[in-house]
Amino acid sequence: MKILHIIEEKRIIKRKKERSHEVNVTGFNERLVPISDFSQGKAGKIFNDVAQNNKEYIVLKNNQPTAVLLSIKEYRETQEKIWKLEKLLERIENIRLLKLAQSREGSPVSSFKEFVEELGYSMEELEALSESVEFE
């Protein structure tokens, strides 16, 4: 049952991703706003459009994209998505490491001291070396 739910979620994400890549060039050009518009009395109209209609604007300075204006709602949703994706990536990495550990189960294991000695150092040399290095 859980697998079917995951498959359906992947389909939904794929459809959303496909739709998000559809570009309306006319709409894109309408959202480009020179920074000079803010000093020409158009700031109120732009901010109202952002707040009330969830519109996004790309602010141009010297004809170069410099900033993005988006609503608080959109910003929070984006931050939440980023947080969820980071958690998902962390979980995936943990699963990968667990599988790696499981694949090595029964393999010969050496201690850290043996590893250091294989590299040609003693634990005392390693300790002296670590004391001579500053971390910021």
Residues 63 and 78 in one domain: no
Residue 13 lies in a domain: no
Helix/strand/coil (H/E/C) assignment for every residue in the chain? CHHHHHHHHHHHHHHHHHHHCCCCHHHHHHCEEECHHHHCCCHHHHHHHHHHHCCCEEEEECCEEEEEECCHHHHHHHHHHHHHHHHHHHHHHHHHHHHHHHHCCCCCCCCHHHHHHHCCCCHHHHHHHHHCCCCC
Residues 78 and 57 in one domain: no
Residues 80 and 99 in one domain: yes
Residues 114 and 76 in one domain: yes
Residues 80 and 125 in one domain: yes
pLDDT at 6 over 60: yes
Q: What percent of the chain has pLDDT over 90?
A: 44
**Nearest in space to 55 (alpha carbons), one of 63, 66, 65, 47:** 47
Residues 59 and 96 in one domain: no
Residue 17 lies in a domain: no
Residues 49 and 30 in one domain: yes
Read off the pLDDT of residues 12-70 as tens digits, 9 standing for 90 and up.
666 665 555 444 444 556 689 999 998 888 899 999 999 999 899 999 999 999 999 99
Residues 60 and 99 in one domain: no
